[in-house]
């Protein structure tokens, strides 16, 4: 299997990679917009990758900004990244944007993208937003600090992590692991499989929807809040309480582990 040599995209340059892994050239646009008393400079970066049909790892590491991923048929990974910076003047904004780079590792079995810039710029309004269409066979690992993570569609596996922001998913399947510190987690599963579902937050609620016929073994814990299971055949195990609930959904099956400190936990069925 051929791997592309690791490259780094610096904001002042347009990097064009060879098509050894089916990559396309990037499109770059710089614009300046007014808002919030500061100038805003923006660059849009796009690329397509051809991944192994049997499944590949897609890893996104971010600091300030959201990550949105949608499932697609085929084995093409399409990525659109919008990098933005603010400054007192257009020149200041562009100068800050020039220091943002996208570190890229790309091959047919693994693509990893990470936005990097000097730490002090993060306090001055740098934002990097990802919009991605990924093959359903992909294994996703998505990480940001300030921003939400949204995943739509069933993938081979999903791992999503943020610190300040929500994690949401629609129509997911197989293994799903989601964590945040300050934000809610809202997941709707289309099917159960893999290693099950694990959702954890500190300040926020958890809302999990499962197919009516899903077989799962539930373990739910909260400190300040309540736990509720509705619209699903559920048999409680042990005494349980408003802060602790274990049991079997439709006789038991894949593990479902839910934990929060400040917030409620709701598990329900989908029609």
Cβ pair 109, 56 in contact under 8 A: yes
92 and 171 both lie in a single domain: no
How many domains in the chain?
2
- The answer to whether residue 214 is domain-embedded is yes
Residues 153 and 37 in one domain: no
Give the model confidence (pLDDT) of 195-214 as tens digits.
999 999 999 999 999 999 99
pLDDT of residue 1: 34
The answer as to whether 143 is a domain residue is no
Average pLDDT over residues 41-54: 95
Q: Per the structure block, which two tokens stand in for 52?
A: 């192994």
The reply to whether 230 falls in a domain is yes
128 neighbors 63 (Cβ within 8 angstroms): yes
Predicted local confidence at residue 12, as pLDDT: 32
Report the number of secondary-structure helices (H) and strands (E) in the chain: 1, 23
Range of the domain at 260: 148-271
The model carries a pTM of 0.87
Residue 2 shares a structural domain with residue 133? yes
Q: Same structural domain for residues 128 and 14?
A: yes
| 25-47 residue pLDDT tens | 444 444 555 555 478 899 999 99
Cα separation of 194 and 139, whole Å? 12
**Both 38 and 154 in a single domain?**
no
Share of the chain above pLDDT 90, in %: 73
């Amino acid at each position: 299997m051929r791997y592309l040599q690791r490259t780094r995209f610096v904001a002042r340059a347009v990097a064009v990679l060879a098509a050894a892994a089916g990559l396309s050239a990037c499109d770059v646009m710089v614009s300046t917009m007014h808002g919030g008393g500061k100038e805003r400079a923006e660059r849009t970066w796009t690329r397509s990758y051809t991944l192994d049909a049997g499944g590949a790892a897609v890893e996104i590491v971010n600091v300030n900004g959201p990550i949105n991923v949608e499932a697609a048929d085929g084995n093409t990974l399409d990525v659109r990244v919008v990098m933005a910076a603010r400054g007192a003047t257009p020149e200041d904004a562009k100068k800050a944007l020039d220091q943002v780079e996208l570190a890229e590792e790309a091959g047919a079995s693994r693509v990893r993208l990470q936005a990097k810039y000097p730490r002090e710029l993060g306090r001055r309004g740098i934002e990097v937003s990802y919009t991605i269409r990924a093959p359903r066979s992909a294994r996703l690992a998505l990480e940001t600090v300030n921003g939400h993570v949204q995943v739509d569609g069933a993938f081979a596996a999903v791992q999503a992590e943020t610190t300040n922001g929500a994690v949401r998913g629609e129509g997911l399947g197989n293994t799903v692991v989601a964590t945040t510190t300050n934000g809610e987690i809202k997941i709707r599963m289309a099917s159960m499989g893999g290693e099950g579902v694990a959702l954890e937050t500190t300040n926020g609620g958890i809302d999990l929807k499962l197919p009516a016929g899903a077989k799962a073994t539930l373990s739910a814990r909260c400190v300040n809040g309540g736990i509720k299971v509705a619209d699903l055949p559920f048999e409680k195990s042990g005494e349980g309480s408003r802060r602790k609930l274990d049991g079997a959904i439709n006789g038991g099956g894949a593990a479902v582990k839910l934990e929060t400190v400040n917030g409620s936990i709701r598990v329900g069925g989908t029609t």
